Structure 1
């Protein structure tokens, strides 16, 4: 299938939302580069998943100087990314459901949307917890942020799997209008 034709067939709102969300994601990936250290090989993701105060402190110590500025920038920019990706994923779900009249597909779509919204809420809570955990880190904030991060990642993965199920349910391609 021709990718350019596929992109042209998408609704303008969805296309703009995908582009905006992609730009924010690329910006976060660039910001994450100086945060990758021996203690945080995945940068900010390592900090998100540091479930103890000791692990969080080791990561923060590895982010000396300018890296802390990048850590703050990453967490604050993520507050903008969260509504962008949730909105985009909801638009994608609606788009993939446009020729799916079945009750089962509609129920799956409701669950998929709930998973995406839940992932966004988990991400926002995680960001708040991580900002509060910068100085000094505590076990309760570190563990809470990790649980929120795991909620986010789980919601995104299960939601994406739900989108695959929605598309595979009738075994025919998305009808072009």
Structure 2
């Protein structure tokens, strides 16, 4: 369906892109305080810690200062997930592919998974280190990453299609000149 007001959706796209980049850079900066031998990829290690001993090792390696930074990371991840979900949804809707609605739903579900994961991780940081919370964080984070990676692959393929179409529309006379 054509966008009734393309300038409005473009404005939202740029706002979402700006928010995604700014919040992403802030989260990346915070994550540097969370990298330890037990959490080699920072907060992502915490998100994907499936079992209690692994989670406890990460929390112990962070200490109180690291847990403070992890709490800030989770707080900022809520607006970040709204921004990236909006950005990737708007980009996907610009595609002309018949699959755009499927991947749009995928990005929305990824954002929902991120909310559930963050709530579980917040509970763990608050001291409720239960197997149900670690499992919820792990499985929802795993689904989130699966949906994001497949969605990014789709967006990448759409960029390639767009570039191919641009190359095909170059007049033949200008292709032969050097």
Aligned to 1:150: 142
* Larger deviation, residues 130-139 vs 80-89: 130-139
SS at match of 1:28: helix
Structure 2 residue runs of 5 or longer lacking an equivalent are 1-8, 170-178
The residue aligned with 1:61 is 60
Please report how far the alpha carbon of residue 21 of structure 1 lies from its aligned counterpart in structure 2 after TM superposition: 0.8
| Whole-Å separation in 1 of the counterparts to 2:19 and 2:115 | 19
1:80 maps to 79
1:1-177 aligned within 5 A: 11-95=10-94, 97=95, 100=96, 105-106=97-98, 108-134=99-125, 135-168=127-160, 171-173=164-166
What is the rounded CA distance, in whole Å, between the counterparts of 2:57 and 2:16 in structure 1?
Answer: 37
> Is the 2:113–2:143 contact (alpha carbons within 8 Å) kept by the matching residues of 1?
yes
Give, in angstroms, the shift of residue 15 of structure 1: 2.2
Number of residue pairs the alignment of both structures matches: 158
What SS does the corresponding residue of 1:54 show, helix, strand or coil? helix
Q: CA offsets, 1:95-138, max 9 Å, x none?
A: 3x2xx3xxxx23x0011101101110111100001111121412
Q: For 1:151 and 1:92, how far apart are their aligned partners in 2? A: 21
2-structure distance, mates of 1:42, 1:169: 33
- Distance in 2 (CA, whole Å) between partners of 1:167 and 1:139 is 42
Aligned partners of 2:156, 2:42: CA distance in 1, in Å?
30
Shift of 1:150: 0.5
Distance 2:82 2:11 in 1: 18
Give 1 or 2: higher helix fraction: 2
More relative contact order in 1 or in 2 (CA 8 Å, sep 6+)? 1
Backbone CA RMSD of aligned residues: 2.1
Runs (4 or more) in structure 1 with deviation over 6 Å come to none
Contact 1:109/1:163, CA 8 A, preserved across alignment? no
For 1:133, what is the secondary structure of its paired residue?
helix
Computing the radius of gyration from Cα coordinates, the structure with the larger value is 2
Q: TM-score, normalised by structure 1?
A: 0.82
Alpha-carbon offset, residue 75 of structure 1: 0.7
